[in-house]
Amino acid sequence: MAKISSEEIILRYNDSVIRQSDLVTLNGPKWLNDRIIEFYFSYLSSFYPSKHILLVPPAITYWIMNCPDTNSLKDFLKPLNLPSKKLIIFPVNNNDDMSRADGGNHWSLLAYEKTDNLFVHHDSLGDMNKSHAKCLYNTLVPYIGASYPIPSYFEYECGPLQDNGYDCGLYVLATTKVICDWYDSYLKEIGHLWFSLVWEQVNTSTVSGLRKEILEVIKSMKGERIYDFSG
């Protein structure tokens, strides 16, 4: 089968860019990189176009967590218009080295729900990213638009857990989809959060099929054959 350059761009979708090398992470068993997560967030946003939902790309989330200048962060966050959103989802990466764009070894998810004024952290490895999620929460509190009472923080410790060392990104994507589904459901209207839906719908079986699903979405958008890259 023909090969092409690993850095060749094969798809541009909204603000996300997919290169040939990114497809390797979808063949598994691989750790998803930020470009695949950004693409799927953008893809989900097309199905949930509500102005009240915001799925924040990994690079933006990482800068929020690590921005050294409070004044710069304030200007940086303005275009996101966080106070106007009712549901915001952030992918959390545990990369502590800002000089490495590909650093870190675990993804988790921090969701903000405005009605309950609550941040919820979902981590498919228990509390591995707890300190990073809490750092993100503390950074966001002054900008979220709910100065009083201060938004609460909750670790969802009863969520589904991965059974390997590489599916964390897929758990983030699967959980994000369920939370967005919840936002469109009657459960939101009667005051129930998404926890039971995550427990019912996010598991090893559904997560394992997500790699193929995302790859098929990319293929259908490209409209051409995508060649394998193994180098």
**Mind telling me the catalytic residues?**
106, 123, 168
Burial of 222 (0-12, 13-18, 19+ CB in 10 A): middle
β pairing state of 16-19 and 9-13:
antiparallel
DSSP 207: H
Residue 145 region by backbone torsions, left for phi larger than 0, else alpha for psi between -120 and 50, else beta: left
DSSP 142: G
* Residues 203, 206, 207: CA angle, nearest 5 degrees: 80
The span from the CA of 82 to the CA of 61, in Å, is: 13
